[in-house]
Every structure is written in structure tokens, then in C-alpha cells.
Amino acid sequence: MTTTTALPYSVQWDDTHITLLNQQALPTITEFIKLYSVEDVFDSILKLKVRGAPAIGLTAAFGVALGANQDGSTDLGEFKQNVTKHIKKLASSRPTAVNLFWALKRMENILQAAKSIPAAKEALILEAKAIFTEDEEMCRKIGEHGLSLFAEGDSILTHCNAGGIATARYGTALAPFHLAKERAFPIKVYACETRPVLQGARLTAWELMQSGVDVTLISDNMAAHTIHHKQINGIIVGADRIAANGDTANKIGTLGLAILANHYGIPFYVAAPSSTFDLSLESGTSIPIEERNGDEITFIQGVKIAPDNVKTFNPAFDVTPNHLITSIITENGIISPDYVKNIPLFVN
Ligand SMILES: CSC[C@H]1OC(OP(=O)(O)O)[C@H](O)[C@@H]1O
């Protein structure tokens, strides 16, 4: 496998702890923090020190392995009960990204199949490592498929951060740009700042600059003007959950961009691994949308910008209906409409 970026891994298993790139401190401080307990892992997911659907899932999987490894029970039944509590706790951290529940289900299956405590501890670590390695491989393939959709010299707009630091490596929506850089394939990226918590400004701009990708930051309200005046050739975003009909939950603001793409007649791509699909949901209307604390709106980086006691509404995600999505890029290839018919050919 070829290396594409100089980016650090954002999540690492270190036997007695998990080492995490603190995404809340970026871009001013590049800080690695150590997580020694399931509580630390829960808190890091909740507070967005680790974020991005695949990264949340694999961090939670390592969290289960950590909790299991630290358990002192001598009775297998008691051990399984304790680890199940950890799984439930981690599942309550964030509701929208289905990768979290997908990864925890894999860990639960391993736990339930184990015949002894030492075997369970070992198998849980191996499973978490497998989830990590598989994600890295899936993202590299997404990058290959995604890049095939772009032409040299294209200007592409993205939203939030669906990059290497939101996954095991490479990213989903940003993977094609990392590969393009490695191959000296010229592409310009426009990154929306992504209010309220600025994943675009703080993370995507930082990540792409680390890799030497040509990135231009805009504020969210500049998207329409930029698409019109900067000859944007397409939009690519990540995803937190994709229903069986292709409806896609992604960072708040994505729906507006999909409507703009439709208006201006440019393609709107979603990039996601198969672990982001939730085929148990017929459509996006049943995707649970996380609502976060209003302080994320009334403060920017610790500075108050709104009156005391103003009412707020802070949904973290929106759902883009399938008819606005040109295609969905997965590790198994590019899915085109009709999604109800085509998704099962690529994802099971
Ligand atoms: C690689 S999926 C990235 C995904 O993460 C997002 O949200 P958050 O920062 O709240 O975890 C977002 O919707 C992105 O597209």
C-alpha cells in the first residue's frame, strides 16, 4: 500500500491506553491525549475530541477492548455483564453516526462468542484492530473511486471534515484529495468553515494544508457565491448514516449545499464506507438527529457572541434526500441512482 499523507493517526491502540489526537485543540495545538478508561473514551466522543463517523466507531471499539482488558472478574458471566455495560455506555455517547453502533455490535458478537476471559480479552483487542485496519483500507479505496470522478484542474467544494483524522486514515470525502496530491494531479479544494464548531476551518483546512493540498477556506454563507463565481465543478461530503434509499445524514449545512449543487447543475457526491449504511432504515426520516448544547452557537472558541438567554436550536446533522445525490462513493465502487435497487449490490 502506498503512503499518501504525512498526517498522524488520530487514534492509536497502545496496550494500556488509547492515544488520541485531540481534535478540539486543533489547529492551534497539535496535542495527543491518553485515554485510560471507558469513561475517558465516552467523554472524548461526547466532547468531539474524537469525531467523524468511522473514527468514533473505531475509538469506541478500542474503548471496549480497554474496558475488557482492565476487568478483574474471574467469572465469565460477570465479565460479560461488565463489558456489556461498557458497550451500552459507549453507545449512548452520540446518536447519529451508525458506525458507532456497527463497531459496537461487532465487539458484542466477539464478547458473546468467547469461551474464557483471557480468550475474550485477546479476541476483543484483535477485533478492534481489525476494524481499524479495515477502515484504513476502505478509505484508501474510496479515495481511488472518488478521484476517478474528477478531472485535472477541477475545483471541488467540501463541508465539515471527512478526512484522515475522522477515520483510521485517508478519510472519505477528503481521500481523493490526498491521493491526488500524491499523484501530482492538480485539484483545488474549497472548504466551508462549518459552523457551529468549525470542523472545516479548524480541521479540513489544517489537514489538507498538512498534506500540501491546495485548499481555500470560505465561510458557510459564501457557498452559493463561490460555486457561481469560482467555477466549482462538484461538491463532495462524508456521511454519518445512509438509509436504504440513499437518504444521507451528514453535518448540518450539507442539505443546503446539495440544493445549491442541484440549482447550479453540478454533481453532489457522498463518500462513505459500507459501515456507514443503515439498511434497516427505509429512508432518512427515521435517522436520529443529534441536538447539541446551544453554547456551541452562542460561543465561538470560548468567546460569547450572542445575548444572554437567547433561545437556540442546534441540530448537528441534516438529511439530504436521495434525489439530490448524484452518486455515493464506497470502497466497493460508485453507486448511482436508483439507490433502493443499487445499494444492495455494493453494500450488505
Ligand atoms: C468521515 S465522516 C465525517 C463526518 O463527521 C461528521 O460529524 P462530526 O464532526 O459531528 O462527528 C460529519 O457529519 C462528517 O461528514
Among residues 115, 139, 163, which one ends one of the domains?
139
Per-residue pLDDT at 328 exceeds 50: yes
Query: From the CA of 241, how far away is ligand 1's center (Å)?
Result: 10
In this structure, what C-alpha cell is assigned to residue 252? 448540518
Q: How far apart are the first and last CA of the chain?
A: 25
Triad 169, 170, 171: Cα angle to 5°: 95
Catalytic residue among 240, 247, 278, 318: 240
According to DSSP, the residues that pair with 315 across neighbouring strands are: 291
When pLDDT is averaged across residues 187-212 and rounded to a whole number, the result is 98
227 and 306 belong to one structural domain = yes
Residue 1 lies in a domain: no
**51 in contact with ligand 1, CB cutoff 6 A:** yes
Indicate which atom in ligand 1 lies nearest the CA of residue 250: 13
Residue 13 sits at the vertex; the CA angle it makes with 292 and 136, to the nearest 5 degrees, is 75
- Is 253 close to ligand 1, i.e. is its CB under 6 Å away? no
Neighbouring C-beta atoms of residue 84, cutoff 10 Å:
14
Q: Tell me how far the alpha carbon of residue 191 is from its chain's centroid.
A: 16
Q: Amino acid letter at 2?
A: T
User: pLDDT band at residue 75, thresholds of 50, 70 and 90?
Assistant: very high
The answer to whether residue 3 is domain-embedded is: no
Query: What is the per-residue burial (b if ≥16 Cβ within 10 Å, else e) of 154-190?
Result: bbbbbbbbbbbbbbbbbbbbbbbbbbbbeeebebbbb
Using pLDDT thresholds of 50, 70 and 90, give the confidence band for residue 348: confident
ipTM comes to 0.98
- Residue with the nearest Cα to atom 1 of ligand 1? 162
Same domain, 171 and 117: no
Domain housing 284: 149-346
240 belongs to the catalytic site: yes
Asked if 61 and 128 count as a contact pair (C-beta separation under 8 A), the reply is yes
Residues 38 and 129 in one domain: yes
Reply yes or no on whether the pLDDT at 4 is more than 70: no
Are 222 and 264 in the same domain? yes
Query: The domain spanning residue 162 has which CATH number?
Result: 3.40.50.10470
Pairing of the two strands 234-237 and 268-271: parallel
What's the average model confidence in pLDDT over 209-238?
98
Q: Does the Cβ of 5 fall within 6 Å of ligand 1?
A: no
Number of domains in the chain: 2
Of the residues 139, 157, 178, the one at which a domain ends: 139
Per residue in 78-108, pLDDT tens? 999 999 999 999 999 999 999 999 999 999 9
Note whether 162 and 122 are same-domain residues.
no
Among 139, 167, 194, residue at a domain's last position? 139
Q: What is the largest CA-CA distance in the chain?
A: 67
The three-state secondary structure class of 12 is: strand
Percent of the chain with pLDDT over 90: 97
CA of residue 240 to ligand 1 center, whole Å:
6
CA distance 87 to 122: 17
* Ligand 1: centre distance to CA 158 (Å): 12
| Ligand 1 in reach of 143 Cβ (< 6 A) | no
Same domain, 165 and 312: yes
**Looking at the structure, do residues 153 and 222 belong to the same domain, yes or no?**
yes
Together in a domain, 182 and 110: no
Q: What is the mean pLDDT of the chain?
A: 97
pLDDT exceeds 50 at position 5? no
